[in-house]
Amino acid sequence: MTSTRKEIGLAIIGCGTIGRIRAEMARDYPGIGWLGLCDLKEDLGQKLVEDTGADFFTTNYEELVKRPEVNAVIISTDENHHMLPILSAVEQGHNLFIEKPLATDVRESQKVLNAIEDAEVDAVVGYTNRFRRRFLAIKERLNNGQIGQVTGVVTRAIMNRMVPIATVQRTNQRQNLTPMVVSGTHALDMSMWLMEGKTPVSVYARSNDLALSQYGTKDSTFGVFVMDDDTMFSMNISWAAPVVWPGAVYGLEIGIIGDKGVIDVEDTHRDLVLATEVPQGGGYVPDGFTPEYQRHVDFLTSYPAGDVYNGQFWGPMREETNSWYQHLYTGMKTPHATAAEGHMNLLLTMAMDLSSRRRQELVLPLNLDEYYQ
């Protein structure tokens, strides 16, 4: 950590659920001297201005990133609309925090990564699980060699279908909004981070769409990667659990096998159950969507970003956001995913989708053109 303190002029592009959370934390962080907001929905943005005391609002992201006060930008738009505001911020040389994924198209993602690296911009990608205490503890023990050489990883994720419904209803560009690209990327990022240094050399995957085809997306994707040292990585994701499924968003299990030990992670949140006559909300409830059934059981703490107490947001996203602010302010090193890791995560999730469509094993890495064939 350096002793330099650099006041942050922060621009947040996208004032929805996640943009709001990070903006409210910015309001409370003493190193942020100026806060500007941008959203196409002026009423949404102006409400956040009122709630955070932001210094500036516009519906034009180019106007915002060109403000002389700005030196850092958070991109929290819908998944399909990351590229142009990222490139605009890179052109100004600003530090970047980009909500995952880097993009939903491999060529756009490569273009973004090239721009970031050419400009030598400090850019990170939002993978909130990296800031949870349990995964930091696991990473430390892996770094210390306490289970030896990792030889296999098994990952299973189950999600409530409110997430895909909310995601795909916001856009007609749904071809890449799959369980792997949008949500499985979190479990994949965590697994790849825990296997740091290993490179995937092949993948085989299959998908189905029995429940969610009406929304233009898949139900589940199951796949197996083989790494360059013959480590095997099994990655399964389903975001088709019914709306009454008690997990607000994510339930995750990871098994890590080493030649000297094992780490077994049960992260399904079933240790904290609420059952009530009062209907439960939570998760990403799409505007205008009323579920046929109501949830009356909830796995508390299953919203991955965190929870609200006394009007404040607590949990991994608080750690992730404030540590990025501290990184900008003091130079502190953090476990954020880099832009290169974010790009690789997209390539791997889309390789699983491509393998599923072709119903064959793919040798990695792929040429970008192969993703479109």
Judge if 174 and 247 occupy the same domain: yes
Residues 84 and 45 in one domain: yes
* Apex 27 CA angle, 77 and 89, nearest 5: 40
Evaluate whether 95 touches 122 at the Cβ level (below 8 Å).
yes
Strand partners, 152: 232, 257
Task: Flag whether pLDDT at 350 surpasses 70.
Answer: yes
For 111-152, write each residue's pLDDT tens digit. Answer: 999 999 999 999 999 999 999 999 999 999 999 999 999 999
pLDDT in tens, 179-198: 888 888 999 999 999 999 99
Say if 34 falls within a structural domain.
yes
pLDDT at 123: 98
Per the CB < 8 A criterion, the answer to whether 302 and 9 are in contact is: no
Q: What is the CA radius of gyration of the chain?
A: 20
268 and 212 within one domain = yes
pLDDT at 50: 97
Whether residue 294 is found in the same domain as residue 154: yes
Domain assignment of residue 235, yes or no: yes
- Structural domain including 110 reads 8-129+317-338
| CATH number, residue 121 | 3.40.50.720
Q: Is residue 353 part of a domain?
A: no
The CA-based dihedral angle spanning residues 140, 144, 146, 151, taken in that order and rounded to the nearest 10 degrees = 90
Looking at the structure, tell me whether residues 171 and 288 fall in a common domain.
yes
Residue 95 is assigned to a structural domain of this protein? yes
Predicted local distance difference test score (pLDDT) of residue 127: 96
Residue 179 lies in a domain: yes
Does 100 lie in the same domain as 165? no
> Which contiguous run of DSSP H or E holds residue 12?
strand 8-13
Domain co-membership, 332 together with 301: no
- Same domain? For 122 and 24 the reply is yes
- Work out how many domains the chain is built from and give that number: 2
Is 365 domain-assigned? no
What residues contact 290, with CB distance under 8 A and at least 6 apart? none
Domain contains 214: yes
Nearest to 299 by CA among 268, 277, 253, 278: 268
Computed over every residue of the chain, the mean pLDDT equals: 92
249-307 pLDDT, tens per residue? Answer: 788 999 999 999 999 999 999 999 999 999 887 655 656 667 778 889 999 998 888 99
Q: Is the pLDDT of residue 164 over 70?
A: yes
CATH number, domain with residue 156: 3.30.360.10
Q: Which of 305, 326, 349 is the last residue before a domain boundary?
A: 305
pLDDT in tens, 15-41: 998 999 999 999 999 999 999 999 999
Residues 48 and 88 both lie in one domain: yes
**Per-residue model confidence (pLDDT) at position 1:** 47
Q: Is 159 part of any domain?
A: yes
Distance CA 161, CA 265 (A): 23
pLDDT in tens, 219-259: 999 999 999 999 999 999 999 999 889 987 788 999 999 99
Residues 186 and 333 in one domain: no
pLDDT value at residue 71: 98
Pair 49, 70 in one domain? yes
Same domain (yes/no): 143, 237: yes
| pLDDT average, residue stretch 337-354 | 96
